[in-house]
Structure 1
Amino acid sequence: MLGKLIKYDLISVSKILFPLHLALLVVTVLGRLSMALNLPQNAPLIVSLMLMLYIFGIIAIGIITLVVLVMRFYKNLFTSEGYLMHTLPVKASQHLNSKLIVAVLWSILDCVFIIFSIFILLVNQPWLNQISAANWAELKEMFSIIFLGGGNTMVSILFLCLYMLIANIYIFLSFYVSICIGQLMNKHKVLGSFLAYLVIYVISQILSVISMLFFGLSSLRGFPVQTLTFEYYRNLMTLSIVETLAFSIVFYLISNYMISKKLNLD
């Protein structure tokens, strides 16, 4: 049954998100073609304006994707649609799992679309080719110092990917648990969800700071970049992964309990 729920949710959100991201690629291709044309003397101004609009467009698509995925959870489970969805012979956890899997999947697709769009726009650009080998070497060295610190490259990449995945799950679950708490109110449920999110955010940030202070990873200020070691970043990343995973588990359990035991569709 979980597979059917995932298919249903995926089709529902894809009707909105796929055309939106396809439009991004079309605009990117058109932008790339226009860059290949002979532009007038005021070309730098035109290119700058187009680039600014492109950046705003990417940001807007990211925000719209997040809103659509979160609203899917709210509308499908806590509005009039919820009366039908909660009559299905499935557990609350299956509803939650379906929404979460689809949300994480589409957020990954969103990143893939955006990266591919940027690649189309920038590949083989003359100004990129003008960047000297020395400049690339400096960038590589800076990346190595900040993210690797002499450590294993593959381990660092895996750590970063794992954190990004868990952080993605955390983001959606923080919205889900806020909506679940907000729906307990008989009136102004959206406002209640917003206030719940603010409270949860503040509490999670306070706990994060406390844990960093406890483990001695509270601040990078005052440290030159060259002194930051791989071990420091590894410990910081490990702590971040553990914290984010712990918050995600708590949010999931609360959301599941609210949906199964405290559902309020009035």
Structure 2
Amino acid sequence: MLSKLIGYEMKAFGRILFPVYLAIVVVAVLLGIDFRLFSSPEGAAGSVALTIILVLLIAAVFLITIILSVGRFYTNLLGREGYLMFSLPTGTGSLIWAKVISSVIWSLFSVIVAAASVIPFFLIPSFSEEMEKIEISSIVSKVFEAAAPYTATIVLGVLIVIASTVAAIVRIYAAISIGHLWSDHRIIGAVLTYIGFEILELIIMAILGSSLFITINLPGLFRAMGSIGAEVSVLLGCIVIIAIYSIVTWIVLDRKLNLE
């Protein structure tokens, strides 16, 4: 059932995001053509206009992704559609994680599309001429050779980015869920709850940081921070945050939710 819910969410996101992705690709292609064919000062105005449009589209795709992630959680589970969603033969956890997973996937898609949209800038004549003088293959091989000893760190870094994204999403969901318990001004309640979560996290991090400095000598702390253990600690911290906010969201939706 979870896979079906994820598929439903993916389609709902795609109906809105795919046209924006397509617009980014079209503008990026036009910008690349403009760089190659109209490199004279007379063609600069067109390049500037297309660049501004591309930047606005990239900003829009991230904003739309955030709005969809938050909006679909609120309308599907806390609005009138909640009656239908909670009547499905599946658990509350599946309903929550279907939205979390689809939000993370589309966030990654948005990052990939935004990164790919900078390719036309490599087609600028002055830049491409310089790039042709460089042996790209040798540079790529050297980069891989240099990065090989840090493979574990790179993998952990990618996992931390993904875990941080998940943590941010479930934090928002938990805040919205608690805010919905307010009889009035639920949006204000969600915002205040989110701010409270942030403050609480900062306090806990400050306490843990102080304890770390007290229990570990300074040279040992620097050595620990320079090792792979620091990345593991950050990843574990993200996992703990995800677990806590997921439980909070589940308790509210499964035990305390009132859709009336």
TM category, shorter: 0.7 to 0.9
Whether 1:203 aligns to 2:200 is yes
Residue number in structure 2 paired with 1:158 = 155
Residue number in structure 2 paired with 1:176 = 173
Residues of 2 paired with 1:107 and 1:230: CA distance? 32
TM-score by length of 2: 0.82
Task: Give the conservation status (yes or no) of the 8 Å contact 1:163–1:240.
Answer: yes
Alpha-carbon deviation of 1:239? 2.7
Residue number in structure 2 paired with 1:251 = 245
Over the matched positions of the two proteins, sequence identity in percent amounts to 24
Residue number in structure 2 paired with 1:78 = 78
Residues of 2 paired with 1:128 and 1:234: CA distance? 37
Task: Give the conservation status (yes or no) of the 8 Å contact 2:171–2:245.
Answer: yes
Alignment of 1:70-219 (within 5 A): 70-119=70-119, 121-129=120-128, 130=130, 152-216=149-213
Alignment of 1:235-246 (within 5 A): 235-246=229-240
Q: What SS does the aligned partner of 2:226 have?
A: helix
Alpha-carbon deviation of 1:53? 4.2
Alignment of 1:218-237 (within 5 A): 232=226, 234-237=228-231
Question: RMSD of the TM alignment (CA)?
Answer: 2.8
Alpha-carbon deviations, 1:123-143, whole Å to 9, x = none? 34444443797xxx9xx99xx
Structure 2 alignment gaps of length 5 or more:
214-221
Residues of 2 paired with 1:59 and 1:229: CA distance? 39
Alpha-carbon deviation of 1:109? 1.2
Q: How many residues align?
A: 243
Residues of 1 paired with 2:245 and 2:37: CA distance? 52
Residue number in structure 2 paired with 1:29 = 29
Whether 1:263 aligns to 2:257 is yes
**Structure 1 consecutive aligned stretches of length 4 or more whose deviation exceeds 6 Å:** none
Residue number in structure 2 paired with 1:225 = none
Label 1:9 to 1:123 Cα distance change in 2 as closer, same or farther (>3 A). same
Structure 1 alignment gaps of length 5 or more:
217-227
Task: Give the conservation status (yes or no) of the 8 Å contact 2:39–2:125.
Answer: no
Residues of 1 paired with 2:223 and 2:46: CA distance? 43
Quick check: 97-106 or 41-50, which moved more?
41-50
